[in-house]
Chain A
Amino acid sequence: MEIARKFKSAFSTVPMLGWMLGILTGVLIEFYWGYDYISYYLGLPKIPVLFGTLIMLKEPMMIPGALGYDLAVYVVPVFLVAKLTSGLTNPLAALLEKLPLALSVLIHLVLFYGILHLWAGINDYRVLVIKLTMISIILTVSINVINGYQGEFSCSHPGFMALGAYVSSIITLVLFANDKIFGAPLLPPEYGPWFFPLALVAGGAAAALGSLAVAIPSFRTRGDYLAIISLAFMFIVKSAVENLHIIGGARGMGGQPDFAPLHVIFIWTILCIWIIHNFVTSIMGKALNTVRDDEAASESMTIKTRKTKMTAFMFGAFWAGVGGGLFAHVLAYINPGMFSINRLAEILAMVYFGGLNSIVGSIVGAVSINVLGEALRPLELFKWIIIPLILIFVMIFRPYGLISFTELNMKKLLRAKTGKGV
């Protein structure tokens, strides 16, 4: 414990910029020397995709090599660079602090995206994992509006996702793709990426309209009855799509054009986090919390509970629809079976693992469940015993999730750290 405390205090002077610089160094080391030198001399067949867990679980003999790789590429350079450059990065961070917060955040985000792009560029599998993780972040943050901030137990997120996925896929397939069902494209495919945001927004709008089917009954019912209504809504959407043979029915719909590269998904994720953060810290967001805590009292405090509930539902559903649209274009294939109970269990697990009423918590939950799921993939079936057990323990020791009731504070996160008054 003493060592851990010393370690923590030694690195308490490193600002966010310093950590980013450290990670950048690690990624650059992997990019230039990973294949030819480091993995070769450590006896690894190739660069570990996800920090070596896949290799370690498949071939136990490789454990020292994979651990050595992680140490040589990530751990040592990150901590070393972060510590050594803190004399340089702290004044820089202090300088950035003088800029408007939005600009400072933007600079950090650009830097972060650069690192992510470089790291993911090593192979396609990493790209896919990052894309799906970001989509999970969108879904988790958006369900947190309904389940965390508004305090309902909504089960309809896969339904909203399906609405968004199908509507945006139909739009892009009709307009920009040569498709079996809809024939030749109506517009030149070059315009596709520029119109893609509109298709996503249309998908989100469809999901928001669909959410009225859950939002309007929520005026009269709460809790478990609303859970059933939302569950029924999810089954209805899935079943309706299965019976619409023009859009593929139960066979699904494929061939969505690839309009969703990494940077597009990154921008949408940041937009989602930013807008939802603004929403939940606005007066409307506070009203949402009062509706959750005591509906009658908030009504008497002149809060329009109906309007608040409806907005929250439509807002959450909109972003779920956007997430669904991105999901469809990443996989280039969707079928109704993707938006069923299993997806629901996954989304609920992510939001309750990460933490209610907190955007940071949602991000942590989505990232950890996704990365854990990918890292434990070689365990096959046993993965589905380990992950649920972890979740049960989290629920027992932290019933509201790992990081709950905490707001995102960019200013605190990005400030210079002088070691005094941390």
Chain B
Amino acid sequence: MESIIDILQYIVQNLINAAQRGSFYAVISIGYSMVYGVLMLFNFAHGDIFMVGTYIGFGIATLFLAIFAGLLPGPLIFLSTVVVTMFLASWIGVLVEVAGYRPLREAPRASAAITGLMIGIIFETGILILLGAKRLSFPPLMESVTYHIGGVYFTNVKAMIIILSLLLMLALHGFIQKTKWGMAMRAMSYDFLAVPLMGVSINIIAPLTFAVGAGLASVAGILYGQAYPILDPYMGVIIGWKAFVAAILGGRGSIKGAALAGYLLGFIEIFVATIFPSTLRDLIAYSIILVILTFRPRGFFGMEHSTKLRL
């Protein structure tokens, strides 16, 4: 006999799990959405940038744990890992933009999509060649403490993942709304052709966008490594496509929408898995997305773009 309280506890417990999963998707799909907003192309290599970011985070975390373990408190090691990884991974984003997408700026968008897919394959194979097929496990950066409040269990890692993702999104919001760079990005997404005439160089703004996206993806990678510690070179593929789905579902170029859709995707997946057999997760999640897009073809916050699809 289950009481109302049990059911409530169950729901809250799953809400926390869903918020954790949704946080990854939200943080990653924001990167997709930003690139879309500025350059009008989908960066299909983003999932693999996330994967490379996770590996960089793994390297930095192992290094810092070896040097500073015992000297510094856990949260400080964690924060410094995040900062250094973000810095290093953002160069991956710049590299992808300069080497892969810049020569294709005048080309049809589908060519850029194929280039993105191929860059992703090169990253996967590169990691596989460098590190072998052995699966690495991400070292825990903080001691895990389990809290138990009102029948709901959660760990400090889980709480930190959710809080840090929210803080990152707020910081990004501030960056885009308040700084000059952010203003240039917004202007670029408003009118791709007129902005360069105002003295804003797209060759600076585009790599910057990629850098911010890659930095966010790498942080998501560290958080992912804390929650599910097994690393493997193909981990970015499925997460990348899911983040792509979330970015579109939110409305193209809308960062707010991408975050919301990321959380929604997380919630759908967790709740489907708790109610139905977990093998049905993808089936139901994607069916729901299909229905949403059939009735709301521009996504949540999408606007009618006058730009026609260039083949």
By a beta-carbon cutoff of 8 Å, the part of chain A in contact with chain B is 147, 151, 153, 213, 217, 220-225, 227-229, 231-233, 235-236, 238-240, 242-243, 250, 292, 294, 341, 345, 348-349, 352, 356, 381-382, 384-385, 388-389, 391-392, 395-396, 399-400
Contacts and interface: CB of A to CB of B under 8 A. Distances in A.
Nearest to A214: B290
Contacts of A348: 113-114, 117
Contact of B290 (A236, A240, A382): A236
A352 B42 CA distance: 16
A300 B270 CA distance: 47
A151 B308 CA distance: 11
B293 A229 contact: yes
A294 to B, nearest CB: 8
B309 A225 contact: no
Contacts of A220: 294, 297
Contacts of B286: 232-233, 235-236, 239
A348 B124 CA distance: 18
Given A236-B290, A388-B119, A222 B309 contact: yes
A236 B284 CA distance: 8
B118 A388 contact: yes
Given A224-B252, A395-B115, A396-B104, A151 B309 contact: yes
12 contacts: A147-B110, A225-B297, A229-B293, A231-B244, A233-B286, A236-B286, A239-B279, A239-B286, A348-B117, A392-B100, A392-B119, A400-B108
Interface string B107-149: 1101111110111011011101100000000000000000000
Given A225-B248, A228-B293, A395-B107, A388 B238 contact: no
Contacts of A221: 293, 297-298
B248 A224 contact: yes
B279 A242 contact: yes
B249 A228 contact: yes
B6 interface: no
A221 B297 CA distance: 6
A217 B287 CA distance: 13
B245 interface: yes
Contacts of B280: 239, 243
A388 B289 CA distance: 31
Nearest to B238: A341
A220 to B, nearest CB: 5
Nearest to A243: B279
A357 to B, nearest CB: 8
A75 B67 CA distance: 63
Contact of B293 (A147, A217, A381, A392): A217
Contacts of B248: 224-225, 227-228
Interface in B5-32: none
Interface of B: 42, 100, 103-104, 106-108, 110-115, 117-119, 121-122, 124-126, 128-129, 237-238, 241, 244-245, 248-249, 252, 277, 279-283, 286-287, 289-290, 293-294, 297-299, 308-309, 311
A353 to B, nearest CB: 8
Contact of B110 (A153, A231, A294): A153
A356 B311 CA distance: 9
Contact of A225 (B129, B283, B293): B293
Given A231-B241, A385-B122, A223 B107 contact: no
5 nearest interchain CB pairs? A399-B107, A388-B118, A239-B283, A384-B125, A221-B297
A235 B290 CA distance: 11
Contacts of A391: 114-115, 118
B204 to A, nearest CB: 22
Given A153-B110, A239-B286, A348-B114, A385 B125 contact: yes
Contact of B244 (A228, A242, A395): A228
A151 B280 CA distance: 33
A345 B117 contact: yes
Contact of B111 (A236, A292, A399): A399
B10 to A, nearest CB: 25
Given A225-B293, A352-B111, 18 more contacts: A213-B290, A217-B294, A220-B297, A228-B249, A228-B289, A228-B293, A233-B290, A236-B287, A238-B282, A239-B282, A243-B277, A250-B279, A345-B117, A345-B121, A382-B125, A395-B107, A395-B118, A396-B104
A349 B118 contact: yes
Contacts of A399: 104, 106-108, 111
B121 A388 contact: yes
A58 to B, nearest CB: 18
Contacts of A242: 279
Contacts of B297: 217, 220-221, 225
Contacts of B309: 151, 222-223
A341 B298 contact: no
Contacts of B121: 345, 384, 388
Nearest to B107: A399
Contact of B124 (A243, A384, A396, A400): A384
Given A225-B298, A381-B129, A231 B114 contact: no
A139 B151 CA distance: 55
Nearest to B311: A151
A232 B246 CA distance: 12
A243 B238 CA distance: 19
A332 to B, nearest CB: 26
Q: Considering residues B42, B248, B279, which has the most beta carbons from chain A within 10 angstroms of its beta carbon? A: B248
Contacts of B282: 235-236, 238-239
Contacts of B126: 385
Nearest to A219: B297
B309 to A, nearest CB: 4
A318 to B, nearest CB: 21
A352 B110 contact: yes
Contacts of A395: 104, 107, 111-112, 114-115, 118
B283 A392 contact: no
A233 B287 CA distance: 8
